[in-house]
Chains A and B, each alone.
Chain A
Amino acid sequence: MSENEVYALEVRNIVKRFPGVLANDHVNFNLRKGEIHALLGENGAGKTTLMNIIYGLYTPDEGEIYVDGKKVEIQSPHDAIRLGIGMVHQHFMLVPVFTVAENLVLGAEPTKGWQLDLKAAREAVRRLSEHYGLEVDPDAVVEDLPVGVQQRVEILKALYREAKILVLDEPTAVLTPQEVEELFVIMRELTKRGVSIIFITHKLKEVLAIADRITVMRRGRVVGTTTPAEATEESLARMMVGREVVLQVPKGPAKPGDVVLEVRDLKVEDERGLMAVNGVSFEVREGEILGIAGVQGNGQTELVEAITGLRSAREGKVLLGGVEAPFRRPRFLIEHGMAHIPEDRQKHGLVLSYSIADNLVLCTYYKPPFAHGLQRNQQAILENARRLVKEYDVRTPSIFTPASALSGGNQQKVIVAREFSRPVRLLVANQPTRGLDVGSIEYIHKRVVEMRDHGAAVLLVSAELDEIMSLSDRIAVMYRGKIVAIVNAGEVDKSQLGLLMAGGQLQPA
Chain B
Amino acid sequence: MGDHEQSMTSTVWEATRRYLRSVAVPLGAVLLALIIGAAIIWISGASPWLAYKALAKGAFGSAEGWRRTLEKTTPLIFSGLAVAFAFKAGLFNIGAQGQLLLGAITAAWVGFAVHGLPWAIHAPLALVAGLIAGGLYGYIPGALKTYTGAHEVITTIMLNYIAMGLTDYLANGPWKDTSEGNIVARTPEILPSAHLPTWGWLPLGFLLALAVAVFAWWVLERTTIGFEIRTVGRNPHAARYGGMKVARTIILTMVISAMFAGMGGAVETQGVIGRYQPGFNANLGFDGITVALLGKTDPFGVIPAALLLGAMRAGSSQMQFDAHVAKEITDVIQALMLFFVAADMIVRWLLRVKAAEGEEKITLSTGWGSH
What is the interface of chain A, defined by CB distance below 8 A to chain B?
A: 308-310, 329-331, 334, 340, 342, 347-354, 358, 362-363, 365-366, 371, 374-376, 378, 398, 400-402, 404-405
Contact = CB atoms under 8 A, between A and B. Distances in A.
A310 B225 contact: no
B243 A349 contact: no
Interface stretch (B69-77, B78-86, B230-238): B230-238
A365 B224 contact: yes
B358 A402 contact: yes
Given A376-B222, A376-B224, A347 B357 contact: no
Given A348-B237, A353-B234, A376 B243 contact: no
B358 A404 contact: yes
Given A358-B227, A376-B223, A310 B11 contact: no
Contacts of A365: 224, 227, 242
A349 B231 CA distance: 12
A398 B8 CA distance: 10
Main DSSP-derived SS at the B contact region: helix
B62 interface: no
Contacts of A358: 227
Contacts of B11: 398, 400
B234 A351 contact: yes
A333 to B, nearest CB: 8
A349 B238 contact: yes
B360 A374 contact: no
B240 interface: yes
A347 B223 contact: no
A28 B357 CA distance: 32
B238 A348 contact: yes
B305 to A, nearest CB: 22
Given A351-B235, A404-B357, A362 B242 contact: yes
Contacts of B237: 347-348
B147 interface: no
Contact of B240 (A310, A350, A398, A404): A310
A375 B222 contact: yes
B7 interface: yes
Interface in B217-253: 222-227, 231, 234-235, 237-238, 240-244
A306 B360 CA distance: 31
Given A363-B243, A365-B224, A404-B357, A350 B238 contact: yes
Contacts, number: 73
| Residue picked from B227, B238, B241, B359, most chain A C-beta under 10 Å | B241
Closest CB pairs A-B (n = 4): A402-B358, A331-B243, A362-B242, A348-B241
15 contacts: A329-B243, A330-B240, A330-B241, A340-B241, A347-B238, A349-B238, A351-B234, A351-B238, A352-B358, A362-B231, A362-B238, A363-B241, A365-B242, A404-B358, A405-B358
A375 B231 contact: no
A330 B242 contact: yes
Contacts of A362: 231, 238, 241-242
A365 B239 CA distance: 11
Interface of B: 7, 11, 222-227, 231, 234-235, 237-238, 240-244, 357-360
Contacts of A353: 234, 358-360
A402 B360 CA distance: 11
B227 A376 contact: yes
Contacts of B358: 352-353, 401-402, 404-405
A405 B224 contact: no
B205 to A, nearest CB: 27
A375 B223 CA distance: 4
A334 B226 CA distance: 21
Nearest to A402: B358
B218 to A, nearest CB: 9
Nearest to B232: A351
Given A347-B237, A353-B360, A330 B243 contact: yes
A329 B247 CA distance: 13
Contact of B225 (A331, A374, A404): A374
B231 A398 contact: no
Contacts of B238: 347-351, 362
A366 B224 contact: yes
A363 B242 contact: yes
Contacts of A310: 240-241
A352 B235 CA distance: 8
Contacts of A351: 231, 234-235, 238
A385 to B, nearest CB: 14
Given A362-B242, A375-B222, 11 more contacts: A310-B240, A348-B237, A352-B235, A353-B359, A362-B238, A365-B224, A366-B224, A374-B224, A376-B222, A376-B223, A401-B358
A352 B225 CA distance: 19
B219 to A, nearest CB: 9
Contacts of B223: 374-376
Contact of B241 (A342, A374, A378, A398): A342
A410 to B, nearest CB: 14
A402 B222 contact: no
Contacts of B243: 309, 329-331, 334, 363
Nearest to B238: A351
A363 B242 CA distance: 4
Contacts of B227: 358, 365, 376
Contacts of A402: 357-358
Contact of A405 (B231, B242, B357, B360): B357
A185 to B, nearest CB: 37
A398 to B, nearest CB: 6
